[in-house]
């Protein structure tokens, strides 16, 4: 299979919450307050929603065909109801236990979120193996991590195949709406999301293309997506016709030093009719703290940036997975630009001039 330039940046999701706490209580649930901003807000569900966040973090799915155990975290509303499903793919070296500021916000507004731990996670790497790498950058740039691009996409397809089993194990039978599935990811996870959405890769010998799209998710969020490089070329996004939201910031450089404009190539070339770009002036790779983790290129904490990502993405999910007309109106209204005093903007070809295909710098 083709080797790709994953552009993967992240670190494991050590958010200070012990996983053994839930395990000792038989996968006990937890409920923690979500930090809320009190000054500038984008006026679309910027605060915690009406649903109580619950989580089960000790599920494992066995994929016999690959000889693989796949750890999962499932987060869901405590209240009764039938809810759309979002699968979320972590960044390189991360895990299912990261991104609580983002996942908890989505759950509080009525979504079930499933987070697998992919094979590149440092959580799965024995301590003696970790010592072989001089730094986190060295690890995520290693051939081992870069080779996991296909395994990650296969993880997502496998979870979708087994949604009924996930629901049964989580006590969510008759509460999980498998007809309304969204797929999201950050950094390397953003590439996983793009592959599921229809991205194709040019084979190294240039004799053809490879794709592993799954038709079941109906909308996609890609935070810090990859631009062209390696086997990702100008034709790679041609198959991505389903609704997408991408996000980046003016300081969202790649681990190789490429500027944020490299990430804009993905948005410019996606042919989807419903596509949106959240652009944050001064935004860094971790968007102010969406992962709940710290790493050298994450950038500083910024509660406004977290709030803007939360608001934009939940509006997108509401519009695509709940057919919410008010959410669709918000995405094209320019309200975030005004509320943020020009610091954050949701761009859409329906409201703005489309970004030129050569806008990637």
Residue 122 lies in a domain: yes
Predicted pLDDT at 22: 26
Residue 97 CA to residue 360 CA, distance in Å, equals: 32
Number of neighbours of residue 38 by Cβ within 10 angstroms: 7
Specify if 80 maps to a domain: yes
108-142 pLDDT, tens digit each: 999 999 999 998 887 888 888 888 888 888 877 88
Q: Residues 297-346: pLDDT tens digits?
A: 788 999 999 999 999 999 999 999 999 999 999 999 999 999 999 999 99
Query: How far is residue 308's CA from residue 86's CA, in Å, rounded to a whole number?
Result: 19
In a domain, 192, yes or no: yes
Q: Domain span at residue 62?
A: 19-347
Q: Could you tell me if residue 199 is inside a domain? A: yes
Distance (Å, whole) CA 89 – CA 72: 11
- Residue from 223, 331, 234 nearest 274 by CA: 331
Specify if 269 maps to a domain: yes
Give a yes or no: residue 339 inside a domain. yes
When pLDDT is cut at 50, 70 and 90, the band that residue 14 belongs to is very low
Q: Is residue 189 part of a domain?
A: yes
Does 13 reside within a domain?
no
Query: Are the C-beta atoms of residues 42 and 335 closer than 8 Å to each other?
Result: yes
Count up the domains in the chain and report the number: 1
Instruction: Output the pTM of the full model.
Output: 0.84
- CATH number of the domain encompassing residue 113: 3.40.50.1820
> How many angstroms from the chain centroid is the CA of residue 159?
15
- State the Cα–Cα distance between residues 74 and 262, nearest whole angstrom: 33
User: DSSP state, 271?
Assistant: -
């Amino acid at each position: 299979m083709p080797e790709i330039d994953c552009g993967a940046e992240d670190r494991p999701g050590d958010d200070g919450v012990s996983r053994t706490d839930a395990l000792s209580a038989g996968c006990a649930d937890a409920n923690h307050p979500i930090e809320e901003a009190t000054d500038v807000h984008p006026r679309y569900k910027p605060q915690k929603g009406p649903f109580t966040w619950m989580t089960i973090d000790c599920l494992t799915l066995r994929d016999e065909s690959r000889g693989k155990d796949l750890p999962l975290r499932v987060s869901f509303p405590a209240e009764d109801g039938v809810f759309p499903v979002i699968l979320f793919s972590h960044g390189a070296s991360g895990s299912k236990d990261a991104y609580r500021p983002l996942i908890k916000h989505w759950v509080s507004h009525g979504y079930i979120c499933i987070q697998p731990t992919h094979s590149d996670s440092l959580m799965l790497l024995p301590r003696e193996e970790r010592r072989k790498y001089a730094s986190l950058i060295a690890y995520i740039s290693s051939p081992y991590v870069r080779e996991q691009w296909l395994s990650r996409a296969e993880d997502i397809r496998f979870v979708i195949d087994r949604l009924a089993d996930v629901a049964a194990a989580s006590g969510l039978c008759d509460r999980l709406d498998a007809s309304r599935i969204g797929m999201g990811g950050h950094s390397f996870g953003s590439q996983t999301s793009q592959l599921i959405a229809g991205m194709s890769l040019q084979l190294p010998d240039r004799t053809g293309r490879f794709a592993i799209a799954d038709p079941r998710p109906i909308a996609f969020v890609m935070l810090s997506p990859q631009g062209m490089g390696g086997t990702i070329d100008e034709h790679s996004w041609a198959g991505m016709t389903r609704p997408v939201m991408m996000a980046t910031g003016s300081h969202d450089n790649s681990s190789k030093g490429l500027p944020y404009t490299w990430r804009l190539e993905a948005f410019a070339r996606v042919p989807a009719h419903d596509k949106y770009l959240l652009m944050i002036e001064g935004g860094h790779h971790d968007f102010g703290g969406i992962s709940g983790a710290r790493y050298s290129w994450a950038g500083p904490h910024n509660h406004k940036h977290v709030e803007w990502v939360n608001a934009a993405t939940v509006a997108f999910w509401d519009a695509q997975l709940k057919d919410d007309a008010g959410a669709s109106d918000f995405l094209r209204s320019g309200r975030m630009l005004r509320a943020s005093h020009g610091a954050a903007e949701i761009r859409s070809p329906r409201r703005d001039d489309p970004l030129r295909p050569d806008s990637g710098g």
